[in-house]
Amino acid sequence: MITLLQNIYEKAQSAVRVEKETGEWFQTSVKSRLEDPLSALLFITYLERVMEKAMQINRGINISGTLVNNRLFADDIDVLEEDCESLHQPIEQLRVAAEEAGLIMNRKKTKTLVFGDRNIEKHVQIAAYTIENVHQFEYLGSLLTWATTVLMKSGEE
């Protein structure tokens, strides 16, 4: 599938036809546009490959006997660990894998939230950048806080 799409984008050619006469074939620049439904699918597939490379660790949080170290939804990535100190390695691996794939972590949107502890002494630092620890954030319509996992659902009273 990837080779097919790559060939479509890299080897596309066009020709102009006027009535029954076809002109010479020429190289055509084909690009995926943001509004193209294929664009989102390609990005998610690409991001999934980056995550597979980055998250080759046997760590995370235990959910019903299964270790879970990340959650993905569109371009939102959650890296999960038992404590703040354990976050450094998987986040650094993600940063490196992303940069190797031509992606850059958005420092303004990258945050940590430690459940069960409002004030943390040690912050996660990646590539000389200290990641801000927040006390709450909204994720997929739910407000997550340091004190509880789900405080409320958007749209519910």
Angle 61-66-69 from CA coordinates, rounded to 5°: 40
Angle, in degrees to the nearest 10, between helices 37-54 and 88-100 = 130
pLDDT given at position 151: 42
Instruction: Give the pLDDT of residue 155.
Output: 53
List Cβ neighbours of 46 (8 Å cut-off, separation of 6 or more): 101
Instruction: Walk along the chain (157 residues) and give the pLDDT tens digit of each residue.
Output: 668 777 777 787 888 888 888 889 888 776 666 666 677 778 888 888 898 888 887 888 877 888 888 888 777 888 888 777 788 888 889 999 999 999 988 888 888 877 766 667 778 888 888 888 888 877 777 777 777 654 444 554 4
What pLDDT, on the 0 to 100 scale, is given for residue 148? 60
pLDDT of residue 30: 66
- The reply to whether the predicted model has a pTM over 0.75 is no
- The alpha-helical segments, DSSP class H, found in the chain are 2-11, 37-54, 88-100
Residue 91 near residue 79, CB atoms below 8 Å: yes
Q: Nearest CA to 109 among 139, 143, 144?
A: 139
Task: Tell me the HSE value of 106 on the side-chain side, using a 13 A CA sphere.
Answer: 5
On whether the CB atoms of residues 89 and 56 are closer than 8 A, the answer is no
Q: Domain extents for the chain? A: 33-152
What one-character DSSP code corresponds to residue 13?
A: E
Query: What was the pLDDT predicted at 33?
Result: 62
The pLDDT value recorded for residue 110 is 86
3-state SS assignment for residue 66 = strand
Helix, strand and coil in the chain, % to nearest 5:
30, 25, 45
Which pLDDT does position 127 carry in this prediction?
Answer: 83
Give the amino acid at 72.
Answer: L
Look at residue 97 in the predicted model and tell me its pLDDT. 93
